[in-house]
A and B are shown apart, each in its own frame.
Chain A
Amino acid sequence: MSQLVPNLNNVVPLPLEDRPGLGQSAIWTHNWTLNAGERVFIQAPSGTGKTTLIHLLYGLRTDFRGTLEWQGGQQSWEQLRRNELSIVFQDLRLFPELTLMENIEVKRVLNSSVSPSQIEEWLKHLDIFHKKNALAATLSYGEKQRAAICRALVQPFSWLLMDEPFSHLDRHNTALAIELIKNRFSELNAGLILADLDENTYFDYNKTFHL
């Protein structure tokens, strides 16, 4: 198992600098670090910087004070995103002009650690196999969300970052997605950082932080 861990030291996103009660956050303005393989839940009401935190951890934003680094692993964002960090974006970010299968394939070929037939099994498990050749632009939000989860799982990773990953799934489909993610976790011994609005029991979390 990779020893890659995040370390945030007095990080404050610039857009949140003037927010009242920032000091009460368990992460902003604090020295915040995790252990490899932990399953972490970030509970954050709207406007507290939940998506900002996920994007900071994934290297998409640089508008913050303090220091943020991934310790113990490859350091270029390109390498981290290929081999160590995977993500389910809140806004999903699929290519609308590609089919569901192509959206997953474009990520899969970066490592080829999962076979196309394995992906087809996952799609069947999530009940979107029949949509595999449909353009992403034509999928429902729930179908897109399941496709985005599949895309996140096709690469090897030490940490999976998820931002409201089941927000558009019913209970049954959420359970199917959680089962798939747990199976993949047991293969990879990876860590998990899941950010959501409300308390949940999707996973057996080691730590919970209030943003």
Chain B
Amino acid sequence: MSSAPKEIFRKLLLKSAYRSRLVLAQVSLFAGTFILLMAALIWWNFQVLLKGSDKNDSLGSTFILIGKNISPESMKDRGQTLFNENELIGLKSIKGVNEVAPVNSNHFPVYAEVGGLMSFATDLPLEAVPDRFLDTLPENWEWKEGQAVLPVILGTQFLDIYNYVFAPGQGLPQLSRGAVKSIGIMLKVGLPGQQRNYLAHIVGFSDRISGVLVPASFLEYGNANFPGNYNDPRPSQLIVKVTDPSADGFVNYLKSHQYSTNSEQLRWNKIRGVVTIVSGSMGGFALLLISIGVVVFIFFVELTIAKAKDSVELLLQLGYSSNDIGGFLWKGLLPKILLVELAAGISITCLQYIGARFFTQTGIDLPNVPGMVIWGVFSAHALILIALLKVSVNNAVK
């Protein structure tokens, strides 16, 4: 551009009420951009939940437990209800199944004793799954050979059964989660005469698995070192991470192989449908708003130039090019557009952070910052907006 003094160009091209019109255009552009990003953010967060982040089982449950139907035939042959390696591989190959792992159980006797006020003793079944399938991962969730203290995660259903069914019937005290964590449970492991004692502490609760969970390393050690009554290593249950538990392919596979699962999971498909409609409608509304925001900004540009029409004409007559004039206007406008975009980006980041903090309190784990999808939408939107406005400035000056 020619080195036209900026102050002179400003006087000629940015006439009265320019600032107030600019602020109005910026506000409308910000509103459109913010709502567009918010719609994308809502959609993205639901996707995170529904696709099943490891910790969000209780919200968008994509982790399900699978067993084999118990039939009169299978009752005669215990091995029939166990899963072999091929069946595991077959399940993994189904579209929408992300991960499959066995739910291991103890093949050795475990006897639990609790002293004090709530004195009782019982045989106890233990289960273990790979840590990545857990919905809670307490800090001290670890067991090594030789360690006498054993961390335990209790299924919330298990605790509910104790509190609402077992305790009232047996005259035992009902227990809060905090109280349960303070109780020491003596586990006697192994056949009589060869028993070893472990002090178990409940360190967390799981909504995903209803039994009594111990670290996988403990079950591996126990099954290998304590003789039991039944030593078939094959699992009777599998835990599956699945995108959509009600997808036809998946459901048909379970039916054809006579696998059973919790039909509760089907309800998430309805929620998914509602979320898709809601976020889609909001996206449509956001696109409408952002379109209005862009149009308002384009009108602002055209009005600014129209008000300075005589000056633009005389500048062209004096030897300035439309690029000189458009360039001056564009250099002034671009930082203001970028400011709006920056403000929208910061606002949406704050919104995600505040939302994530809020939902953490309700047990839903969301990312603290928007993901790449949001920044992709943001960048695409910003580039299209800048291109549209650049074209608008150039056309208006010519």
Sorting the interface of chain A by its residue count into under 10, 10 to 19, 20 to 34 or 35 or more gives: 10 to 19
The answer to whether B319 touches A78 (Cβ under 8 A) is: yes
Within 8 A of B (CB), among A75-121: 78, 81-82, 93, 95, 97-98, 102, 105-107, 109-110, 112
The answer to whether A98 touches B314 (Cβ under 8 A) is: no
Q: Which of the residues A58, A105, A110, A112 comes within 8 Å of B320, measured between beta carbons? A: A110
The answer to whether B8 touches A106 (Cβ under 8 A) is: yes
Q: Which of the residues A60, A97, A102, A155 comes within 8 Å of B317, measured between beta carbons? A: A60
From DSSP, what is the main secondary structure of chain B's interface residues? Answer: helix
Contacts of B314 in A (CB 8 A): 93, 95
- Known contacts A95-B314, A98-B12; A81 and B5 CB within 8 A of each other: no
B-contact 0/1 string along A109-150, CB 8 Å cutoff: 110100000000000000000000000000000000000000
CA distance A204 to B8 in the complex (A): 38
User: Which residue of B4, B8, B11, B315 has the most chain A CB atoms within 10 A of its CB atom?
Assistant: B8
CA distance A105 to B3 in the complex (A): 11
The answer to whether B321 touches A78 (Cβ under 8 A) is: yes
The answer to whether B318 touches A110 (Cβ under 8 A) is: yes
Tell me if B47 counts as interface (CB < 8 A to partner A). no
CA distance A58 to B316 in the complex (A): 12
The answer to whether B319 touches A109 (Cβ under 8 A) is: no
The answer to whether A82 touches B319 (Cβ under 8 A) is: yes
Tell me if B311 counts as interface (CB < 8 A to partner A). yes
CA distance A95 to B320 in the complex (A): 14
CB distance from A49 to the nearest CB of B (A): 19
- Known contacts A109-B2, A109-B5; A97 and B318 CB within 8 A of each other: no
From DSSP, what is the main secondary structure of chain A's interface residues? Answer: loop
CA distance A93 to B2 in the complex (A): 21
Contacts of B12 in A (CB 8 A): 95, 97-98, 106
CA distance A105 to B7 in the complex (A): 11
A-contact 0/1 string along B298-320, CB 8 Å cutoff: 00000000000001001111111
User: Which residue of B3, B317, B319 has the most chain A CB atoms within 10 A of its CB atom?
Assistant: B319
Within 8 A of B (CB), among A6-62: 58, 60
Contacts of B311 in A (CB 8 A): 95, 97
Contacts of B319 in A (CB 8 A): 78, 81-82, 107, 110, 155
CB distance from A119 to the nearest CB of B (A): 14
CA distance A97 to B3 in the complex (A): 20
CA distance A95 to B11 in the complex (A): 10
CA distance A76 to B373 in the complex (A): 48
- Known contacts A105-B5, A106-B5, A109-B4; A97 and B11 CB within 8 A of each other: yes
Contacts of B317 in A (CB 8 A): 58, 60, 81, 93
Of all chain A residues, which has the CB nearest B9? A106
Contacts of A60 in B (CB 8 A): 317
- Using A109-B3, A109-B4 as known contacts, list a sample of 17 further A-B pairs with CB atoms less than 8 Å apart, ordered by residue number in A: A60-B317, A78-B321, A82-B319, A93-B314, A95-B12, A95-B314, A97-B12, A97-B311, A98-B12, A106-B4, A106-B5, A106-B12, A106-B315, A107-B318, A110-B318, A110-B319, A112-B3
Binding site for A on B (CB under 8 A): 2-5, 8, 11-12, 311, 314-321
Binding site for B on A (CB under 8 A): 58, 60, 78, 81-82, 93, 95, 97-98, 102, 105-107, 109-110, 112, 155
> What are 17 A-B contacts with C-beta separation under 8 Å?
A58-B317, A60-B317, A78-B319, A78-B321, A81-B318, A82-B319, A93-B314, A95-B311, A98-B8, A98-B11, A102-B11, A105-B8, A106-B315, A109-B2, A109-B4, A110-B319, A155-B319
